[in-house]
Chains A and B, each alone.
Chain A
Amino acid sequence: MIGAGVPVGEIILATFILNFRHFLMSTALSRKLKVKRTAGAALSYGVTDETFVVASVHGNAEELGALGFFVMALMAYLAWFSGSLGGALFSGLIPVRVVSSMGIGLYALFIALLIPSARKNWQHALVAGISAGTAWLLSAGLTGLSEGWVLILATLGISALGTLLPEPEVREKR
């Protein structure tokens, strides 16, 4: 983003919006893990999309406990760190065609994260769809807004629209 000449304030704001989902995740996890504030401050550093999903969707955060969450977050961090290091050291050895093909990977990741929950919850699917359409319209060159602002406006605006949707029906198991 620096390379693209995006102002620093905008990068920080975009990151804030992007990372704000962790506020929700931490809120959910802090209720389940039941740790003291000091331990919570350390654990909160390990809250990522992946660790949150594994702890709360995949498994049971209450059973996992604070120590289990810590170990899992540490493993995720080490894997990320070694992957980044490897990429930085060896990226020169990878052919250009392969590198240009890897750009799609991030979007495939986003799609793979979105589709399962969009399938379970039509409200989520609708919000994501309208938001994509809005972002497209805003970035179509009519407004002159930069990518960061398009993302922020679409996220704030369309998620607000989502609050008007009816609550998802809760199917109770009997």
Chain B
Amino acid sequence: MIWILLGGMFLVTYLPRLIPFLLGRELEPPRWLLKWLTFFPYAALGALIFPGILSAVPGKPWLAAAAGLLAAISSLFVRNIALVVLLAIGFVLLIQTVVIV
């Protein structure tokens, strides 16, 4: 079972990267398909963030949501992604340490 999983994961991770390089520049996908594909990352990010973030801190959905809001606001001003991540973690750690909810 684990080998099927590993093999499958390898294929779905590597093939999407590999195929465009193999096809080369001759093949032009239809415009509507390209446009659809451009929205994939944003739709995926939206669906990944929203309901999931509420369970990011065990038992404290409001704290997780607040940290998400902090990350959103700080990423408007801070270009460094790692800094935004550390800020959110630090915030949750601080609240969990200071306030015993």
Chain A residues packing against B (C-beta within 8 Å): 2, 8-9, 11-13, 15-27, 29-31, 35, 37, 40-41, 43-45, 47, 97-98, 100-119, 123-125, 127-136, 139, 147, 150-151, 154-160, 162-163
Contact = CB atoms under 8 A, between A and B. Distances in A.
Question: Taking each of A11, A131, A156, which has the highest tally of chain B beta carbons within 10 Å of its own beta carbon?
Answer: A131
A97 B97 contact: yes
Contacts of B35: 162-163
A56 B71 CA distance: 24
9 contacts: A11-B9, A15-B9, A15-B13, A22-B16, A27-B29, A104-B71, A104-B88, A139-B51, A158-B43
Interface string B62-82: 001001100110011001010
Nearest to B5: A8
Contact of A112 (B4, B40, B81, B89): B81
Contacts of B53: 104, 107
Contact of A114 (B12, B29, B49, B67): B49
A132 B43 CA distance: 8
B39 A163 contact: yes
Question: Taking each of A22, A97, A133, which has the highest tally of chain B beta carbons within 10 Å of its own beta carbon?
Answer: A22
Q: Which secondary structure characterizes the binding site on chain B? A: helix
B46 to A, nearest CB: 3
A127 to B, nearest CB: 5
Contacts of B49: 107, 110-111, 114, 128, 132
B39 to A, nearest CB: 4
A111 B53 CA distance: 10
Question: Taking each of B40, B44, B58, which has the highest tally of chain A beta carbons within 10 Å of its own beta carbon?
Answer: B44
Question: Taking each of B13, B29, B58, which has the highest tally of chain A beta carbons within 10 Å of its own beta carbon?
Answer: B13
Given A8-B8, A12-B8, A131 B21 contact: no
B19 interface: yes
Interface of B: 1, 4-5, 8-9, 12-14, 16-25, 29, 32, 35-53, 56-58, 64, 67-68, 71-72, 75-76, 79, 81, 84-85, 87-89, 91-93, 96-97
A107 B76 contact: no
Contact of B68 (A107, A131, A147, A157): A107
A46 B93 CA distance: 34
Given A26-B21, A101-B57, A159 B42 contact: yes
Nearest to B93: A101
Given A21-B41, A105-B89, A2 B64 contact: no
Given A15-B12, A97-B97, A108 B44 contact: no
